[in-house]
Amino acid sequence: MELQFLGTGAGVPAKHRNVSSIALKLLDERNAVWLFDCGEGTQLQILKSTIRPRKIEKIFITHLHGDHIFGLPGLLSSRSFQGGNEKLEIYGPVGIAEFIRTALKVSQTRLSYELKFIEIKEGVVFSDKQFTVSCKPLDHGIASFGYRIVEADHEGELQVDKLAALNIPSGPIYGKIKRGESVELPDGQVINGKDFVGEKKLGRTVTILGDTRKTPNSVALAENATVLVHESTFNKDEAKMAKAYYHSTSHQAAQVALEAKVEKLILTHISARYLTGDIIQLENEAKEIFPNTKVVKDMEIIEIPFKAE
């Protein structure tokens, strides 16, 4: 499981930061990519990566400001030309379906795959045996949501080497052992399957927030998360401006991470007015409150480890 940041800028594209888009790469888990927001130029950023548009099975939109959605029509169209025939689901606030349908209709774009819209409200928006995705509204002056992605626990792996050492041949018996059952071997020996299965790995939790002021819902969404992705549009001295524009400061993002007891804080949605020195300052400001903080740049990949036991 990895996060790749296709766009880390705020509001408008800059030379070194495109506008918002984050890929949650679940290639090992389900051979798929989930996209969170799709600002202008996202498909160009994808061309610089190893991501294949046909692998994108879900797109989650946090809110309907242009720097988070203007890349959608182009990406959806290109996906048709690049072998994408599988159904694509798009989650987002009310209005996302109208925006996309209008753009496709006016441009006379026909897709080679089924498009399904899920206009969200607070609660669980997707769940299967592997993942549960829920959302809560944030505070941005427009309907804006944060998403919490919770992975199911991984069952322990069958310790094949230990079985081979006992000359236990592979076959249906391995299934019983994997389930932790007691098994009688041909020589009469009885083994406990639980002795041949490794420790369960706790599932990971990723929280990706839309643009927002500091709000209790941010903390609730991020509770005990492995990784929290939070905007940092303003520095700690610009709290009044952040409030006026419905955004957060570096300190406020760090306070959310601290209160939620997350493992790692990732700061994104960086203003084009910030130069290299300013970005270092943003990161250091957040570290004053939450040391395990990183400001990401475009195309950066962050691996999401299993939670330490």
Q: What is the pLDDT of residues 106-165, one digit of tens each?
A: 999 999 999 999 999 999 999 999 999 999 999 999 999 999 999 999 877 788 888 777
d(CA 151, CA 172): 29
d(CA 221, CA 262): 10
pLDDT of 309 over the 70 cut:
no
Mean of all residue pLDDT scores within the chain? 93
Q: What is the CB-side half-sphere exposure of residue 189 using CA atoms within 13 A? A: 7
pLDDT digits (tens, 9 = 90+) for 4-57: 999 999 999 998 999 999 999 999 999 999 999 999 999 999 999 999 999 999
Domains annotated on the chain, with CATH: 2-154+202-303 (3.60.15.10), 160-196 (no CATH)
d(CA 74, CA 132): 28
**Given this model, what pLDDT does residue 246 score?**
96
67 catalytic per annotation = yes
**Given this model, what pLDDT does residue 190 score?**
83
Greater pLDDT, 185 or 87:
87
**Given this model, what pLDDT does residue 296 score?**
98
Query: At which residue do the structure tokens 């299934």 appear?
Result: 175
Across-strand partners of 224? none
Greater pLDDT, 217 or 172:
217
Cα–chain-centroid distance for residue 297? 16
DSSP letter, residue 177: H
Catalytically annotated residue among 37, 67, 139, 211: 67
**Given this model, what pLDDT does residue 308 score?**
58
Dihedral sign (CA 87, 19, 246, 142): negative
169: exposed, middle or buried (Cβ count in 10 Å: 0-12, 13-18, 19+): exposed
Rounded average pLDDT over 182-193: 79
CA end-to-end span of the chain, whole Å?
18
pLDDT digits (tens, 9 = 90+) for 235-277: 999 999 999 999 999 999 999 999 999 999 999 999 999 988 9
